[in-house]
């Protein structure tokens, strides 16, 4: 796992690739680069809904449309703040997608004050995400704000 390498790869993709494919490619980089990232997806805000865009993982989620305010995803989209859940079984807001998930991070993608979407990552490891993931993923979310 290498935050700097992943950041450079993502920067290069954003410069060289077309808008239509770059989000999927970035999701793929995150999934491939970090073993603890068991499922990676990008949701877009459409009206009062979060709508799933590109994702990568071993399974599809049934939660392809999440109302704002619902779940950990909806909480992050409503507050505009990163949500970090060390133990999903202890978080009442959690909407279960995969039985294997133990922890989750959701990072809003913002432009000025507007919340455009979010990066959602599930991990099969308990408490998989720490401050380094928050810093890194908030940087990635920032880079994505013109491409979502
Ligand atoms: N667990 C999320 C739902 C999305 S899935 O993890 C892909 C939530 O609680 O909002």
Mean pLDDT per 10-residue run, the chain (148 residues)? 90 81 94 97 96 96 95 96 98 96 98 94 98 98 91
Helix, strand or coil for residue 104? Answer: strand
Which residue has its alpha carbon closest to ligand 1 atom 2? 95
The pLDDT assigned to 19 comes to 72
How much is the pLDDT for 90? 97
For the chain, how long is the longest CA-to-CA vector? Answer: 42
- Residue 56: CB atoms within 10 Å: 16
Nearest alpha carbon, ligand 1 atom 6? 97
85 lines ligand 1 (CB under 6 A): no
Residue 88: closest CA among 69, 73, 107: 73
């Amino acid at each position: 796992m290498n935050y700097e390498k992943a950041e450079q790869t993502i920067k290069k993709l954003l410069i060289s690739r077309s808008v239509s494919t770059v989000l999927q490619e970035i999701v793929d980089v995150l999934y491939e680069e970090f073993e603890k990232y068991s499922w990676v997806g990008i949701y877009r805000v459409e009206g009062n809904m979060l709508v799933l865009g590109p994702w990568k993982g071993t399974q599809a989620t049934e939660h392809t449309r999440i109302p704002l305010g619902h779940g950990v995803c909806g909480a992050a989209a409503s507050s505009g703040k990163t949500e970090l859940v060390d133990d999903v079984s202890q978080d009442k807001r959690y909407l279960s997608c995969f039985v294997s998930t133990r922890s989750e991070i959701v990072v809003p993608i913002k432009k000025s004050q507007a919340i455009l979407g979010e990066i959602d990552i599930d991990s099969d490891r308990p408490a998989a995400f720490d401050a380094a993931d928050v810093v890194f993923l908030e940087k990635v979310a920032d880079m994505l704000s013109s491409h979502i």
